[in-house]
Amino acid sequence: TFNRDLVTKGAEITAYETRASNIPWNFSPTMDVGRDARWSRIWESFGEDTYVNAEMGTAVVRGYQGENHNVVGANNVAACLKHYIGHGVPVSGKDRTPAIIAENDLREKFFEPFRAAIIDGNALSVMVNSGMINGVSTHADYRLLTQWLKEDLDFDGLVVTDWADVQNLLSRDHIVHNYRDAVREAINAGIDMVMEPYNLELMPTLIELVESGEVSQERVDDAVRRVLRMKFRLGLFDKPYWSRHDYPNFGSAEHEAAAKAAADESITLLKNDNNILPLKQGVKILVAGPNANSMRTLNGGWSYSWQGEKTEEFAEQYNTIYEALSNKFGADNVVLEEGVTYNMAGQYFEENQSQIERAVAAAAGVDYIVLALGENSYCETPGNLEELSLSDNQIALALALQQTGKPVILVLNEGRPRLIRKIEPNSKAIVHLYLPGNYGGDALADILAGDVNPSGKLPYTYPKFEQSLITYDHKPSQNLDTKMEGAYDYGAETSVQYSFGYGLSYTTFEYSNLHINKKEFAAGEDIMITVDIQNTGKVAGKESVLLFSSDLVASITPDVRRLRAFDKVELSPGQSKTVTFTINANDLAFVNAEGKWTLEEGEFMIQLGDQTALTKCRETKIWNTPNK
């Protein structure tokens, strides 16, 4: 959505309904920067960009905890930032497997969202990455847990393990000889609370370690203080439990409307050939594909149950895509014939025997085909994959329906960007739902009918090929427009399906008059940037305004561009608005090869829409502190 207010509102509602369930602590938000499209938890993150993760994660924390983190209200809960740190870029693409991250990237791109949510949002707790970084198991990493987190940020909250991850130091990572050593390494690294579901020997083992001096009494006292501090902040010593009836707005119409609004603003229009959308009333529609008539796929994992497999049982009162389109366009005008279905009793990727010919036959009597493809629900390690493309059955279904000559509107309902290059060319429109929740079907129907103008933007780069995975903030050599000169006649151009921040609207927006108030600046100074935006189309619309910077020359190869600010504006037809951003010069700094934050003398290009302008840093500053 690129809408902080919507995110905060959603977090406030989540906190209220979590607290109503007698739960004062939520293991959220997921602050992993999702930079690998293969990863099974992309959908839990805020995408591939560091700044978006920092801003949205902080917005969630504020919504969860309220205005005063020292006195968390009865309608609020403690936030838990996870998974500290680097969990979202496993080398294999598979959950809970090792990551290799350069030291400068570790601080600049992966640590920064956690820093922001702690310093600006006052998050009360942090959960640790289940994997390892550069060969070091994160649950045993004193540098990251104690030095970077607790000491450098003066963090007085608690650090909790993930599921069974002290045991994993022994049985999976093989960095200790026995369970006793695993407990010692984790507690001394900075773990305050252990999520230990299996081994009852944890506490006796810790007592032995304290008695032997292998874990100091001071370390245990510090951990206990952190646990007690959060309980005091939550008021649990005054009121340890409460009644559901203290929360009359649980599941209220107001809360449901907020869920619908979030779905409305997140859904992203990726293609709209000849303005085929929106559809007019009276048209006849075939709804096909395995995601056409499923509440489970709209919600994804962590919904009603761990893998989301119980969603159909508990979400019957809401509308699937087929049901929502029937309500919107009339039941007599909408036909359901999926062609491909999931095996709901199997693993998320399992499908039943396809019946593509039935869907093709049903297409004969309609004007349009809404083809809902994507993924069944999953989360964590069970969501690992071997192939990023949509399944063979789904590709075959799409190609067969396209061959009917009826316009195909491809609807993507998926937790990560599955490859669509074989079916994209002959799809007349493409709408990306992500995992929109219980009101996703209704939101899609409103968008297809033109009652809602789509305004979502991609939070990640949508890949075209599995061997060409890239993020928008790549290095110049990763995407050369021309071949190299001389003997080495090759380039490194990387083809993507859609770029980060891409998304269409039923109207058009024009950017003009980009202005920077300073031609030169130094560290610590504020820079004011303005741009005019006009709705040049015929319908009202919302536009996410994204401000990028490019460091043109740096002592280490700079990223081609970085997102530095964003806002969302709503404009009526013909209406113009001046959007103003104020960024601090320090925000343009990078972490150099020695691991120090650096702002170097030289030119920066600022980009908003199709507008660019230059400004210049007049002197170099290198920080001698871990953080700016």
| DSSP state at residue 342 | B
CA-based torsion, 137, 139, 141, 144: positive or negative: positive
Which residue among 36, 162, 165, 173 is the active-site one?
A: 162
The amino acid sitting at 251 is G
H helix runs in 342-412, sequence order: 356-362, 392-402
Contact call for residues 564 and 548 (beta carbons, < 8 A)? yes
Q: What is the CA radius of gyration of the chain?
A: 25
**Beta partners for residue 597, in sequence order:** 591
CA angle 218, 219, 223 (to 5 degrees): 115
57 contacts 116 by C-beta, under 8 angstroms: yes
| 3-class DSSP assignment, residue 528 | strand
Integer Cα distance of 428 and 276 in angstroms: 7
Query: 473 catalytic, yes or no?
Result: no
Helices 202-212, 179-189: crossing angle, 10 deg rounding: 70
Residue 572: burial class (beta carbons within 10 Å; 0-12, 13-18, 19+): exposed
| Burial label, 331 (beta-carbon count in 10 A; 0-12, 13-18, 19+) | exposed
Residue 145 one-letter amino acid: L
Residue spans of beta strands (DSSP E) within 118-263: 125-128, 132-133, 136-137, 158-160
- For 176-181, the CB contacts below 8 A with 24+ separation are 179/205, 180/205, 180/208, 180/209
Measure the CA dihedral 206/212/218/224, to 10°: 20
Strand partners, 160: 127, 193
Encode burial over 198-221: b for 16+ CB neighbours within 10 A, e otherwise. Answer: ebeebeebbeebeeeebbeeebbe
Which long-range contacts (C-beta less than 8 Å, at least 24 apart) are formed by 514-520? 514/606, 514/608, 514/611, 514/612, 514/613, 515/613, 516/606, 516/613, 516/615, 518/615, 519/615, 519/616, 520/615, 520/616, 520/617, 520/618
**415 neighbors 375 (Cβ within 8 angstroms):** yes
The residue length of the chain stands at 628
Contact indicator for 584, 525 with CB cutoff of 8 Å:
yes
Token pair for 465: 């090929």
Q: Which amino acid is at 138?
A: T
- Residues annotated as catalytic are 162
